[in-house]
Structure 1
Amino acid sequence: MHRAERVFVAVNATVVIGCLAAMALIVGANIALRYTTNHSLSWSDEAARYLMIWMTFLGAGLALRTGGHVAISNLQDLVSSRKQMILRSVILLILLVFFAYMVQVGWEYMQRSQYQKTPALRLSFQYIYAAMPVGFALMIVHLLLMARAFITAGTYRGIDGSADAQPGAANG
């Protein structure tokens, strides 16, 4: 299981890095063309925007995995260890329900937008809005993979799969 988890995280991180690299190349090429030829790529801003949307949703699970999202741990710090585990279990269930709901909402929104086209690239907006259900589905997987360590010890799983971050250590 740990090997499959490492592969999953590595693929997720590689795709996020790929989105960032593609954005940098497209914007950089557009800048270079604008200053060397006085012409720019009409689709570069749109492509960079859509890559950023995908990068954000795909990277949200990685941020969740490492405790990178905002966390308020004051209540958790005030209660006993047993109550902390119960509180973290409730938080995890709420997150799972919310993420599942957002997958459903994102899927419906994606379906409604399938006949609209982007102005410059002429892509179906369905491909752009697919980032939402895909990103939240990935967040569910990341959450389930780190659930045991989070509930029992209050730690997050690092990118390498190790339990390394305390919930209130960096994010308050």
Structure 2
Amino acid sequence: MKKLETLFVALNGWALILMLTAMSLIVGANITLRYTSSHSLSWADEAARYLMIWMTFGGAGLVLRIGGHVAITNLQDALPALGQRILRACIVLGLLVFFGFMVHVGMQYAQRMQFQVTPALRIPFLYVYAAMPVGFGLLIVHLLLIARPFITAGIYKRMDDAEASTPMPGGARG
């Protein structure tokens, strides 16, 4: 199971790296063309925007793993150890429900947009809006992978998959 989790995290990270690389190359090529030939790629801004959308939704789960999202821990810190575990379990349950709902809403929205095409690239908006259910699906998987150590000890995974419990800025633990 540990190897599967490591592979899943690595693939998620590499997908983000590839999208960032593609976005950088597209924007860089557009800037170069604009200043060297006075022409630009009509689709470059649109492609970069859609890659940014996919990177945002695709990277949210990796950030969740390390406790990088905003957290206010005043209530948790004021509770005894058992109360903290119960609160963290409620938070995980609430997040799972919310993420599942957003997968459902995202799928409905993407399906409604499947017949409209983007202005410059002329691809169905389905591929743009699919970032939402895919991203929230990834959030569910990442949350399930870190739920046990988070609930029991309030710790997150470090980027190297070791567990960390040192306080992070904003009150989160990482």
Q: Shorter-chain TM-score category?
A: over 0.9
Q: Conserved in 2, the CA contact under 8 Å of 1:9 and 1:159?
A: no
Percentage identity across paired residues of the two chains: 63
**For the residues of structure 1 that align with 2:43 and 2:165, how far apart are their CA atoms?**
41
- So what's the TM-score if we normalise by structure 2? 0.96
Q: Does the residue aligned with 1:39 lie in a helix, a strand or coil? A: coil
**Partner of 1:171 in structure 2?**
170
**For the residues of structure 2 that align with 1:129 and 1:123, how far apart are their CA atoms?**
11
Alignment of 1:1-172 (within 5 A): 1-166=1-166, 169-172=168-171
Q: Which runs of 4+ in 1 moved over 4 A?
A: none
Q: Conserved in 2, the CA contact under 8 Å of 1:158 and 1:165?
A: no
Q: Conserved in 2, the CA contact under 8 Å of 1:114 and 1:126?
A: yes
Q: Which residues of structure 1 form unaligned runs of 5+?
A: none
After superposing the two structures, state which structure 1 stretch, 62-71 or 151-160, moved more.
Answer: 151-160
**For the residues of structure 2 that align with 1:103 and 1:162, how far apart are their CA atoms?**
29
Alignment coverage as a number of residue pairs: 171
**For the residues of structure 2 that align with 1:146 and 1:161, how far apart are their CA atoms?**
10
**For the residues of structure 2 that align with 1:89 and 1:62, how far apart are their CA atoms?**
20
**Per-residue deviation, 1:22:** 0.7
Kindly provide the CA deviation profile for residues 50-99 of structure 1, in whole angstroms up to 9, marking residues without a partner as x. Answer: 00000000000001111110000000000111110000000000000000
**Per-residue deviation, 1:165:** 4.1
**For the residues of structure 1 that align with 2:159 and 2:146, how far apart are their CA atoms?**
11
After superposing the two structures, state which structure 1 stretch, 52-61 or 151-160, moved more.
Answer: 151-160
Letter in 1 for 2:8: F
- So what's the TM-score if we normalise by structure 1? 0.97
Q: Conserved in 2, the CA contact under 8 Å of 1:69 and 1:171?
A: no
Q: For CA contacts below 8 A with separation 6 or more, give which structure has more relative contact order.
A: 1
Kindly provide the CA deviation profile for residues 19-78 of structure 1, in whole angstroms up to 9, marking residues without a partner as x. Answer: 111110000000000111110000000000000000000000001111110000000000
After superposing the two structures, state which structure 1 stretch, 11-20 or 154-163, moved more.
Answer: 154-163
**For the residues of structure 2 that align with 1:114 and 1:158, how far apart are their CA atoms?**
38
**Per-residue deviation, 1:161:** 2.1
**Per-residue deviation, 1:17:** 1.1
Superposition CA RMSD, Å = 0.9
Q: Which residues of structure 2 form unaligned runs of 5+?
A: none
**For the residues of structure 2 that align with 1:102 and 1:171, how far apart are their CA atoms?**
26
